[in-house]
Amino acid sequence: MIEDRLYGYTTQSTDSLADVRDAFVGLINANPNERVVATAGAAFATNIRLRAKVAGPEGDGIPFSASVSTNATTTLGPTNTMLCCANIAGAPLTADNPAVPGETFYIFATGLGFVMPEEAALATVTGAPYTGPVLNDPNSFVSSLADGFTANVISAGLQVGAIGVYQVFLELNTGVPANSAAPLTISQDIYTSNTALIPIGNPAATSPLMPAASPAEGEAPRKDQAHSP
């Protein structure tokens, strides 16, 4: 539920989790009076991302929740209770513009293997820049830790236009403390990445709209979008 707007969907016996996800995305985006835009996330084929239609801090604080009927076999569980973290998409994480608890940002990775769906997997063996689909996810589960706290992996798919490069979207745990050099890793199977250090700030002391800086060498972690659910 988003404020006073309630979206309901009755699952069908033939529905996949992606079908349920896409149904809710369609319902939310079909409402012209809705204050948010919904997009699908690739991980587990279940994530729904919400972004405020209005730019800037005015979009922070929009509440939302989710529930299911008593006998439902599908569960819904939001990772936050309101939108947060207005910022400029693509702005690097810096000491002056740190990530904040609950915020979504992205990093780049290699070596995460074949992706699904099938048409995406076929595109990975050509040796040419990846052409899509945009929504894809590795065959093997990817997890992440930021300063010892689980960071939700929203997606970890191949980036369109690149060769063998995965764009990994992560949502910081709402309980992670401020740390100017928080260790960040991603893991897959028995393998864990090298450790990157990212700045995590106190949201009460962090400006929500910092000017975008020039891209850093080595592809520094970057802000995802104007708002994160």
pLDDT at residue number 204: 60
59 C-beta neighbours (distance < 10 Å), count: 21
Give kind and range of the element (H or E) at residue 196. strand 196-200
Sequence-ordered list of residues with C-beta below 8 angstroms from that of 208, at least 6 positions apart, any chain: 56, 57, 60, 85, 86, 87
pTM: 0.76
In a 3-state reduction of DSSP, which class is residue 184? strand
Per-residue pLDDT of the chain (229 residues; tens, 9 = 90+): 444 588 888 888 888 888 888 899 999 999 998 999 998 876 666 778 888 888 888 888 888 888 888 887 777 777 778 888 888 888 899 999 999 998 889 999 999 988 888 777 776 666 788 888 888 888 889 999 999 999 999 889 999 998 889 999 999 998 899 999 999 999 999 999 999 999 999 766 544 443 333 333 345 566 665 444 4
Kindly give the residue spans of alpha helices, DSSP state H, lying in 49-183: 118-123
